[in-house]
Amino acid sequence: MSSSSSQNFVSRSVIKKVFAKLQKEGDGAVVRRGISRSEQKLLDPFLMLDEFSVSPPAGFPDHPHRGFETVTYVLEGGITHQDFKGHKGTIYAGDVQWMTAGRGIIHSEMPEEEINKGLQLWINLSSNEKMIEPNYQELSSSDIPKAEQNGVQVKVIAGESMGIKSPVYTRTPTMFLDFTLDPGAQFHQKVPESWNAFAYVLESGEGGAVFGSSNASPVSSHNVVVFEQGNDGVSVWNKSSSKKLRFVLIAGEPLGEPVVQYGPFVMNTQAEIDMTIEDYHYGKNGFEMAKYWRSQ
Ligand code: FJE
Ligand code: FE
């Protein structure tokens, strides 16, 4: 059950810990998959979280998406994106691309430098938004609001923290925060009670990352921690005496709808997936350019 933090907040406890195992994806790329099908029920509206580290010539060449949003957050290097509507750009360390695939996107996502690292999160769309026009929100590092208090720094990619708000419009209500805690620092982040929430540890000193309760067992890098629902939010402690703790805290309002996934297509029913495969194959209903377009 729940436990108190050192302040007057009651933190959610950790109910599951998942180590993000390496696996192959795209063309020669390797990702750490923190959230996959087994977590989708517990973490509705989230479908996937990959921590990628990719070097040319590996990458994610031309592929489609339908029915959800992809959020790409670059931590090191750069990722160049091109799509079948002529949209093209490169995002570098600290930049975010919030892509609404909606009814259909075909794109390539390729590394720019020697070492290219980051996170890609997939957020489901509600049934009435799955077939909307595709859209992009691109934020350069300088557009992302930052705040700091008592040895805790936050970058607000989506939602609100320390009284500052992100400019990103989230169709499925979502919070995406990048926290760095100095050694010994502690923080409590409010999260709406009904939202599902998880943290993903990017960097931590030995025994540093403690979530939910000050005496909980520490979590190592490359782990997802899933929180229970309810309570005022999430408390975190950096118990390392020498190293900073960096993690992302992601939360969202559950959609409560059936999820049928076929690779990069996520719909509500098998019939909709069959229709999507047909649309992609014949170039219909948003995939008109599928027959003609290839990335450069
Ligand atoms: C994918 C084919 C793909 N994780 N992390 C099939 F290419 C992809 C895919 C990615 C991806 C891209 C980036 Cl930039 C970072 C990623 C998968 O593009 F997810 C499936 N299912
Ligand atoms: Fe993609």
Q: CB under 6 Å to ligand 1: residues?
A: 25-26, 31, 50, 52, 60, 63, 72, 79, 109, 120, 263-264
Ligand nearest to the CA of 49: 1
Topology classification of domain 144-257: Jelly Rolls (2.60.120)
128: exposed, middle or buried (C-beta count within 10 Å: 0-12, 13-18, 19+)?
exposed
What local confidence, expressed as pLDDT, does residue 3 receive?
A: 43
Closest CA to 273 of 284, 282, 261, 255: 261
Distance CA 47, CA 68 (A): 9
Supply the CATH classification number for the domain 18-140+268-295: 2.60.120.10
Q: pLDDT value at position 290?
A: 87
Contact assessment for residue 157 and residue 91, using Cβ atoms and an 8 Å cutoff:
no
Tell me: cis bond preceding 57? Omega within 30 of 0 counts: yes
Give the Å distance between the CA of 46 and the centre of ligand 1. 15
Stated pTM of the model = 0.96
Residue 107 known to bind ligand: yes
How does pLDDT run across 15-68, given as a tens digit for each residue? 999 999 999 999 999 999 999 999 999 999 999 999 999 999 999 999 999 999
Measured by CA distance, the residue closest to atom 19 of ligand 1 is 264
Q: Any known ligand binding at 281?
A: no
Query: Is 109 assigned to a binding site?
Result: yes
- Which residues lie below 8 Å from residue 12, measured CB to CB, with a gap of 6+? 2, 191, 197, 212, 227, 228, 229, 230, 231, 233, 234
Residue nearest to atom 18 of ligand 1 (CA): 60
**Residue extents of the structural domains in the chain:** 18-140+268-295, 144-257
Return the ligand 1 atom nearest residue 122 CA: 19
Tens digit of pLDDT per residue, the chain (296 long)? 444 444 578 999 999 999 999 999 999 999 999 999 999 999 999 999 999 999 999 999 999 999 999 999 999 999 999 999 999 999 999 999 999 999 999 999 999 999 999 999 999 999 999 999 999 999 999 999 999 999 999 999 999 999 999 999 999 999 999 999 999 999 999 999 999 999 999 999 999 999 999 999 999 999 999 999 998 999 999 999 999 999 999 999 999 999 999 999 999 999 999 999 999 999 999 999 888 899 99
CA of 5 to the centre of ligand 2 (A): 39
Ligand 1 centroid – CA 125 distance (Å): 18
Establish whether 81 is an annotated binding residue: no
> Got the DSSP string for 84-116?
TTS-EEEEETT-EEEEE-TT-EEEEEEE-SSSE
